[in-house]
């Protein structure tokens, strides 16, 4: 009697096969949609990275051109002009996938005097005790 109650007849087997095929088609549509949306997302990220890199190169070339125009006059007045920039990585792929501290490049224009030597970079540390206290003891 257990086999009669729990056995699967042809109608139930056909219904399960139909539902499984419908579910398979629905899952295929979801997979195609997910793959399409992810590829669009990655394409947009790559496009934005390329545009950022091109913009940074254009800005760097404009700054370099401006520095070269001003450099002779600054040298006559006793100053040296230098353009420095700091970036984590060069290139588009590194900007895309390795978001570092310097995703936006740091740009600096440095003016140094030509006649005077530059001061040493070592900073004197302040003593914990005052000078009077150290002389006493």
Per residue in 1-60, pLDDT (tens digit) is 566 666 667 777 788 888 888 888 889 999 999 999 999 999 999 999 889 888 988 998
The residues that bridge with 110 in the sheet, in sequence order, are: 82
Per residue in 74-101, pLDDT (tens digit) is 888 888 999 988 765 555 545 445 555 5
Please check whether residue 53 is in contact with residue 95, taking contact to mean a CB–CB distance below 8 angstroms: yes
Please check whether residue 45 is in contact with residue 82, taking contact to mean a CB–CB distance below 8 angstroms: no
Please check whether residue 49 is in contact with residue 96, taking contact to mean a CB–CB distance below 8 angstroms: yes
Note the pTM of the prediction, 2 decimals: 0.52
């Amino acid at each position: 009697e257990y086999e009669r109650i729990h056995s699967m007849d042809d109608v139930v087997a056909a219904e399960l096969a139909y539902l499984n095929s419908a579910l398979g088609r629905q899952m295929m549509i979801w997979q195609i949609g997910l793959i399409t949306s992810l590829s669009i997302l990655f394409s947009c990220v790559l496009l934005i990275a390329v545009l950022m890199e091109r913009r940074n190169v254009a800005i760097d070339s404009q700054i370099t051109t401006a520095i070269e125009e001003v450099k002779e006059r600054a040298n006559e007045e006793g100053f040296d002009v230098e353009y420095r920039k700091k970036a984590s990585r060069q290139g588009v792929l590194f900007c895309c996938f390795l978001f570092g501290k310097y995703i936006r490049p740091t740009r600096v224009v440095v003016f140094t005097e030509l006649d005077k030597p530059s001061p040493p970079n070592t900073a004197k540390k302040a003593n914990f005790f005052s000078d009077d206290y150290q002389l006493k003891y």
